[in-house]
Amino acid sequence: MPGQAAIPDDNRIMTIITGGQQSATSGGQLISVIREYSGTMYLIVRCPGCQAFSYADRYQKWKLCTECGYTMDIRTCPVYLDVKTFPQAEAIVKELEAYLHSRNKKELSQDEVKILREDYTEWIRANPP
């Protein structure tokens, strides 16, 4: 990106996740969760068995899917985002599930994943602990 990235407003991440639609968790709640904590330790992953979103500690090797019982090898699961704390991870997992459900989609596009990562990164840089 040429020049300095613009600082996203507080609801930018929520807008990307929800596509501007209302969701069960308001943008303010998600952003409050993200603001409250700092430190990249959790990965937002997707179960290869049932496609449910979940999160795992960055150093965890295996995770049992709470939806289908599939034993996920974290090293080979699709990683959508890495976040600082588990409250952030829980909030983002809920919003991603709601986003896909509300649009009857099975998967995020590569562009949606890229935008999600970029906006989260920009938000973290703009709001240091």
Listed by start position, the domains of the chain span: 12-123
Per-residue pLDDT, averaged over 64-92, amounts to: 89
User: What is the rounded average pLDDT for all residues in the chain?
Assistant: 74
Per-residue pLDDT, 39: 53
Per-residue pLDDT, averaged over 21-50, amounts to: 60
The percentage of the chain sitting over the pLDDT mark of 90, rounded to a whole number, equals 19
For the chain, the three-class secondary structure string (H helix, E strand, C coil) is CCCCCCCCCCCHHHHHHHCCCCCCCCHHHHHHHHHHCCCCCEEEEECCCCCCEEEEECCCCEEECCCCCCEEECCCCCEEEEECCHHHHHHHHHHHHHHHHHCCCCCCCHHHHHHHHHHHHHHHHHCCC
Per-residue pLDDT, averaged over 34-47, amounts to: 69
